[in-house]
Chains A and B, each alone.
Chain A
Amino acid sequence: MNPSIIGQMAVSGALMGLVYALIAYGFQLTYATSKSINFGQGELVMVSAFFSLTLTNLGLPYWLMVPGGLLFGALLGLVVERAGVRLALEQKSEGWILLSIILGLFFFSAAENIWGRDDRPFPTPFQSDPIRVFGVDVTRQELSVAVGVFAIMGLIELFKRRTLLGKAFEAVSADRDAAELMGISATRTVMLSYALSGVVAALAGILVSPITTVGPTMASALILKAFSVAVVAGLDSGFGVVLIGMALGALESLASFYLGSGWREAPGLTLLILALAVRPTGVFGKAVIRKV
């Protein structure tokens, strides 16, 4: 085993893992406000990526396509909230699980019908020739993933801490009833969280597609890993998903290089099972601060 190859594989994998982290972060956003997550999040990533590809094919330059794709992702998030999650939450039922899966299947079929079953290349202005950073080769494409993921997560965290609307978001997460008594509409806050979750899903699609290509099957491949990351890291630590996402990406990349590409899925599933068995609140899941 050549250490420089190990380092190389680990870094490439970790950058890829940031995409899992970003999708898992989308779970955290909606879980915080509504204790629900969109099981069709992978389909949101995929459909938004396809939509962005169509925007590009219509002649839109990359830097206009990105906001267009993100906006579309937000709309899809709102559709999931309105057509699925809210119906269940109003009944105080767990039906959002099934409803979000069904909506995901619907998006999947729609995508197959509109864009076909083939994987297609996705545009990027970032070149894939390697540059050397601290002794490992990374491509500008891979770096753009890291920059994009940290930028959007940073912006959302800044929004939560620095704006009153963001603090209201946190208040609904902490105590929905009490937030309502402050005049904060919990329903609108949940909508906002689903819109933001859709935005991060769309960005994940736009960032990952130049590397993996776009196709209907990308949804299931990504969602499983994002899910592993969310379960292992817990549903309330943004820092946690970044760390676990990078670790998982690195492990995957090493497993597929040294054990064969069939082993690529093994680390994620192993981590998932271990986490569920040992620490179901997640490694970074924290107990709520409360003293009476």
Chain B
Amino acid sequence: MLIVDDLHAGYGASEVLVGTTLTVKPGAVVALIGANGAGKTTTMRAVSGMVRPSRGRVVLDGRDVQGLDASRIARLGLAHSPEGRKVFGPLSVEDNLLLGAYGRLPKFLGFKSGAQADLDRVYGLFPRLKDRAKQASGTLSGGEQQMLAIGRALMARPKVMLLDEPSMGLAPVIVQEVFRTIRRLKEEGITLLLVEQFAKSALEVADYAYVMERGRIAVEGTPEELGRNERVIAAYLG
């Protein structure tokens, strides 16, 4: 479903990714863990088109997408919920969600009825968003904004979803709620690439995991295999 092969990317002269290779199979939850600055977020940005890769391939659903505009890649079925959530602060919660489904809705009128089923689904997952539907999303708490960012990505009915650091800056009880949601989405069959600082929680929910070090994949395997790997335990699970 998503294949990343020998991906190189960076900012200006500094290369952050030096040959990242990974695969996310349909219906799988894959975790990408590693230290700060290892290139996890850059991997996501290069996959979704926010950063243009200098070399390598990104294959989404059988189609090469490296080098395309982020908006094009999004319309081809990739939903990237970025680091820092990036909700549209001045817009209402509901408008944020509707924009998540932008690619497949009528652009002028009647768009809300076209997205009603998806809105109901997201409100079912996150009842608090329904209570705050008309509120400017910039006034939500960090946890609510994270739920909105996840909900907004789900609205696209993506083939593959990228979720970057959903626990960042959140209270532990909210982090638990986020991971409960991820588990529930997994049961529904979502295809997800998850970047997470909390390696332990990420490995608990993942089917497969990659460990990044200095711009490339250092170790990969099932969570059980990584759980037995002494180097991984020492560096990330200790």
Taking beta carbons and an 8 Å cutoff, which residues of A are in contact with B? 162-165, 167-168, 170-171, 173-175, 177-187, 288-292
Our pick among A162, A165, A183 for the contact of B156 (Cβ within 8 Å) is A183
Q: Is B10 part of the binding interface, using a Cβ–Cβ cutoff of 8 Å?
A: no
- Whether B75 lies near A183 (C-beta < 8 A) is yes
Stretch at the interface among B24-32, B89-97, B122-130: B89-97
Asked whether A180 lies within 8 Å of B70 as measured between CB atoms, the reply is yes
Pair A181/B107 contact, Cβ less than 8 Å? no
Tell me the residues in window 53-81 of chain B with beta carbons closer than 8 Å to chain A beta carbons: 69-72, 74-75, 79-80
A246 to nearest B CB, angstroms? 26
Most chain B CB neighbours (cut-off 10 Å) among A180, A183, A186? A183
CB distance from A80 to the nearest CB of B (A): 22
Cross-chain contact A165 with B107 (CB below 8 angstroms): yes
| In contact, B98 and A167 (Cβ under 8 angstroms) | yes
Residues from chain B with Cβ under 8 Å of A177 in the complex:
50, 70, 82, 86
Contacts of A174 in B (CB 8 A): 88-91
A184 touches B50 (CB 8 A): no
Partner of B69, one of A162, A163, A171, A185: A185
A214 to chain B, nearest CB (A): 35
Q: How far is the CA of A288 from the CA of B87 in the complex (A)?
A: 13
The residue that B105 contacts in the complex, of A164, A181, A292, with Cβ under 8 A, is A164
When distances are taken between beta carbons in the complex, the residues of chain B under 8 Å from A164 are 98-99, 102, 105-108, 111
Residues of A contacting B90 with CB < 8 Å? 170, 173-174, 288-289
* Contacts from B to A (Cβ < 8 Å): 48-50, 69-72, 74-75, 79-80, 82, 84, 86-91, 95, 98-100, 102-103, 105-109, 111, 136, 138-142, 145, 152, 156, 169
A167-B155 Cα distance, complex, nearest whole Å = 16
- Chain B residues whose C-beta falls within 8 Å of the C-beta of A171 in the assembled complex: 88, 91, 99
| 22 sampled A-B residue pairs with Cβ under 8 A | A162-B109, A163-B108, A163-B109, A164-B108, A167-B91, A167-B95, A168-B102, A174-B90, A177-B70, A179-B88, A180-B50, A180-B74, A181-B50, A181-B86, A182-B71, A182-B103, A182-B152, A183-B72, A183-B74, A183-B102, A290-B138, A292-B142
Work out how many contacts link A and B, with CB atoms closer than 8 A. 106
Mostly helix, strand, loop or mixed at chain A's interface? helix
Separation of A185 and B72 alpha carbons in the complex (Å):
8
Contact B139 A289 (CB under 8 A): yes
B-side contacts of A179, CB under 8 Å: 71, 88, 99
CB nearest neighbor in A for B152: A182
The reply to whether B111 and A181 contact each other, CB–CB distance below 8 Å, is: no
What residues of chain B lie closer than 8 Å to A289, measured between beta carbons? 89-90, 136, 138-139
Contacts of B72 in A (CB 8 A): 183, 185
Check B86 against A168 for contact (C-beta < 8 Å). no
Tell me whether A182 and B138 are in contact in the complex, defined as CB-CB below 8 angstroms, given that A164-B111, A167-B91 are known contacts: no
**A174-B89, A177-B82, A181-B48 known; A186 and B98 CB under 8 Å?**
no
Report the bound CA distance from A292 to B169 in whole Å.
8
Do A181 and B70 touch across chains, with their CB atoms under 8 A apart? Answer: yes
In the complex, the chain B residue whose C-beta lies closest to that of A292 is B142
Q: CA A171 – CA B69 in complex, angstroms?
A: 17
CB distance from B157 to the nearest CB of A (A): 12
Residues of chain A within 8 A (CB-CB) of B108 are: 163-165
Most buried by B among A165, A174, A186: A174
B99: chain A residues at CB < 8 Å are 164, 167-168, 171, 179, 182, 184
Knowing that A177-B50, A183-B156 are A-B contacts, what are 12 other residue pairs whose CB atoms are under 8 Å apart, sorted by A's residue number?
A: A167-B98, A168-B99, A174-B90, A175-B86, A175-B89, A180-B50, A181-B79, A182-B103, A185-B69, A185-B72, A289-B139, A292-B84
